[in-house]
Chain A
Amino acid sequence: MEGMAGQKSTLTWAVNLAALFLVVLWTIPTAGLFVSSFRDRDQIAATGWWKSLTSSEQTDFVRTGNAEDQKQDGAVYVLEGNVLTEGQKLVGWGTSARNPAAYKGGESADVDGAKLTVDEDGAYRMESATPFTMKRGERIFVTTASPPKFTLANYGRVLGAEGIGRAFMNTMTVTIPATIIPILIAAFAAYALAWMEFPGRALLTAVVVGLLVVPLQVALIPLLRLHNDLGIGKGYLGIWLAHTGFGLPLAIYLLRNYMAGLPREVIESARVDGATEFQIFRKIILPLSFPALASFAIFQFLWVWNDLLVATVFLGNTREQLVMTGVLRELMGSKGGEWEILATSAFISISVPLIVFFAMQKYLVRGLLAGSVKGG
């Protein structure tokens, strides 16, 4: 008995550890972005985000003053200054790029006949028996350590100046109508497919299921031409219509499955009582179907918010029209080096879906299950 109990707890441990490993593995990429978005721009480029809690070392060079800055101090000519900026600590310094930490603070080195000393606190003093004549200062290479630094400045900068604020509004403008309108249209259609008898019902249901998997790519060229011919062109109206069309098959399918599962007696007795189909739909079906409506609303919201392809094709690429995914794409192309902007913009763009996701997870899971397990 004891042996078995021991085995069991080992197994529990193994399961817990394995699960922890998987969860950490799946969370780390997002965590990296989250941490990076709060880091100082120089530190992002200098060390990995996982080192953000330790101080980071950086190498840079500082120029001394030139001939004009020199002072005479007794028999020697002197240049003085400081190589550190606020918050930095000196790790080492040097006179060539090849060895930027050759000397410690307080040590001296020989530079073209002059004696250069850099102190712990970053103050340097260059002495020479003859006057300095150089037009540009000597370079002092310094290796510095900066303490970990977290900042909200990235968010301020991105929201204010980088067009993300505008893109955020654009995305909202695209997403909200494109989420609500298909629900309404689909709800009526789903009711007809689930509870009304008419010839062609089975065929229509099959068509809806078939349209579920049509690749969007097929629709792009014809619809773009159609929109141009109709005079809709590129704009919000076009993208709302497009998202409504693309979202409908899933909406009808999910809602039909759900409505078909509602108790027959409720609807039959309402019909017997003389309620019109419109009344039945509005007073009985719609309130009862709330979970399914919520499921689809989340799907459609996430899908429209996260979409890049439809937005690029139907909305255009001017700065006034870009949605957030479009801005992110541009940032990745043109500002690959500006990590803090990229990380912060990306985090802003994924924060809304993440909030919706965590707040409404129950409905999302329910919708997924209704959409695949039952219907398959």
Chain B
Amino acid sequence: MELLLLAVGTIAVGVLGCMAWFWGSNFVLDQLLPPRGPKAGDNIRRAGLIRPWLFLGPAILFLGVYLVYPVLNSIWLSMFNGSSTEYVGGSNYAWLAQDAKFRESMINNFFWLLIVPALATLFGLIAAQLTDRIRWGNFGKSLIFMPMAISFVGAGVIWKFIYEYREPGTEQIGLLNAIWQSLGGTAQTWLTLQPVNNFFLMIVLVWIQTGFAMVILSAALRGIPEETIEAAVLDGASPWQIFFKIKVPQILGTIAVVWTTITITVLKVFDIVFVMTNGQWGTQVLANLMYDWMFRGTPDYGRGSAIAIVLMILVLPIMIWNIRNVRREMR
């Protein structure tokens, strides 16, 4: 109960505090530089220079402290030893280069990056195309979209029920093994089966992300001008040709956006690996490796930060691409 009070109190304090800042600072500004009297014009101009920063102030403070500072600080920390007491230069990175677990993580991340965005986009495209053409399409869309709302941990539990293993020949309670056994296979512990266990983890993320791809691609497909499709129909194009030669080329831009958005999610993937295998059996990924160095046993902030910076560098090209797109649009 006192928790709820705490939460409600915080909301009140937070909201009132914000309102007080925005209202109060604007009020003070208007008192100091009143938009009336002999110097009204001058005052309005000067107040106009200050006011945006009052509106932006809290946001800039938060962005600075919680995102910009950590990035810079991480670069700094990655050049220190585990307890951040001694400058070690690039030796954390040199250590990374020869570490077997790091190499394994890089290779796994590479395959995650290759497979998850491709499959999620592909399934999303198929789902969008199919559900747009049927009467119960919106209902179907909701159900495919639903996993988006489920946490990675929840998804981990859900898929644990699918990958569960029992002695071969006995009653299987995991769906995958039950199907596999009824087809004549021997029950497997899928999550320890190297290297395909990585693929079984990826499927979980594909399952979650397909809905996202579907929603966006479906909107893009509907935005295609009718005339182009009608013209193709008149020319006698088959449904397949219409889809692959007329529709897909017109939404390539959106496909790229979906692909990069999922790529970002994949790079940061942590929870799924963390709860399902914890990086054992050859399934380690960068985000989980970093967590290991940060919190398991004696924390090693130097190596943890170095791995974080590697992640940051991997994200950088997409960041630059995004910024360029937005700047072009603003012009």
Which residues of A come within 8 Å of B, CB atoms? 11-12, 15-16, 18-20, 22-23, 26-30, 32-33, 36, 44-50, 169-170, 172-173, 176-177, 180-181, 184-186, 188-189, 191-193, 196-198, 201-202, 204-223, 225-226, 236, 240-242, 244-246, 248-249, 252, 276-278, 281, 302, 305-309, 312-313, 325, 328-329, 332, 339, 342-343, 346, 349-350, 353-354, 356-358, 361, 364-365, 368-369, 372-373, 375-376
Contacts and interface: CB of A to CB of B under 8 A. Distances in A.
A210 B322 contact: yes
6 contacts: A189-B55, A192-B55, A217-B268, A225-B301, A309-B271, A309-B291
B151 A308 contact: yes
Interface of B: 3-4, 6-7, 10-11, 14-15, 18-19, 22-23, 26, 30, 48-49, 51-53, 55-56, 58-60, 62-63, 65-71, 73-74, 77, 123, 126-127, 130-131, 133-134, 137, 140, 142-162, 171-175, 178, 207, 210-212, 215-216, 219-220, 239, 253-254, 256-258, 261, 264, 267-268, 270-271, 274-275, 287, 290-291, 294-295, 301, 304-305, 307-309, 311-312, 315, 318-319, 322-323, 325-327, 329-330
B150 A30 contact: yes
Contacts of A302: 148-149
B154 A242 contact: no
Given A192-B52, A215-B267, A305-B151, A33 B158 contact: yes
A235 B15 CA distance: 20
A245 B63 contact: yes
Contact of A332 (B130, B133, B275): B275
Contact of B56 (A188, A215, A375): A188
A202 B312 contact: no
Residue picked from B30, B257, B323, B326, most chain A C-beta under 10 Å: B326
A209 to B, nearest CB: 5
Given A19-B137, A46-B173, A29 B63 contact: no
Given A19-B140, A173-B7, A211-B63, 7 more contacts: A22-B123, A48-B172, A173-B6, A188-B59, A248-B67, A308-B151, A376-B253
A176 B7 contact: yes
A259 to B, nearest CB: 12
Given A180-B14, A357-B148, A375-B326, A218 B308 contact: yes
A185 B18 contact: yes
A308 B323 contact: no
A169 B146 contact: no
Contacts of A16: 134
A348 B140 CA distance: 24
Contacts of B123: 22
A73 B69 CA distance: 89
A96 to B, nearest CB: 17
Looking at chain B's contact residues, the main secondary structure is: helix
Contacts of A306: 149-154
Contacts of B174: 48
A32 B161 contact: yes
B301 A215 contact: no
A278 to B, nearest CB: 4
Nearest to A214: B67
B158 A32 contact: yes
B11 A196 contact: no
Contact of A215 (B62, B63, B315): B315
Question: Lowest 3 CB-CB distances: which A-B pairs, in order?
Answer: A245-B66, A306-B151, A189-B59
Given A210-B322, A212-B322, A217-B287, A23 B175 contact: no
B75 to A, nearest CB: 9
A213 B319 contact: yes
B161 A354 contact: no
Nearest to A223: B70
B6 A236 contact: yes
Contact of A353 (B60, B150, B157, B178): B150
Contacts of B65: 226, 245
B63 A354 contact: no
Given A19-B137, A184-B18, A218-B311, A328 B3 contact: no
A217 B55 contact: no
Given A248-B59, A373-B219, A30 B146 contact: yes
Residue picked from A19, A339, A354, most chain B C-beta under 10 Å: A19
Nearest to B304: A221
Given A15-B134, A192-B52, A346 B210 contact: no
Contacts of A205: 326, 330
B30 A276 contact: yes
Nearest to B316: A213
Given A308-B271, A329-B275, A215 B325 contact: no
B294 to A, nearest CB: 6
A329 B288 CA distance: 14
Contacts of B71: 214, 218-219
Contacts of A30: 146-147, 150, 158
Contacts of A308: 151-153, 270-271, 274-275
Contacts of A358: 142, 146
A369 B217 CA distance: 10
A302 B154 CA distance: 13
Nearest to B157: A346
A67 B144 CA distance: 63
B216 A369 contact: yes
Contacts of B304: 221
Contact of A36 (B161, B294, B319): B161
Nearest to A58: B171
A375 B329 contact: yes
Contacts of B146: 26-27, 30, 354, 357-358
Contacts of A236: 6, 10
Nearest to A253: B326
A5 to B, nearest CB: 15
B159 A222 contact: no
Contacts of B73: 221-222
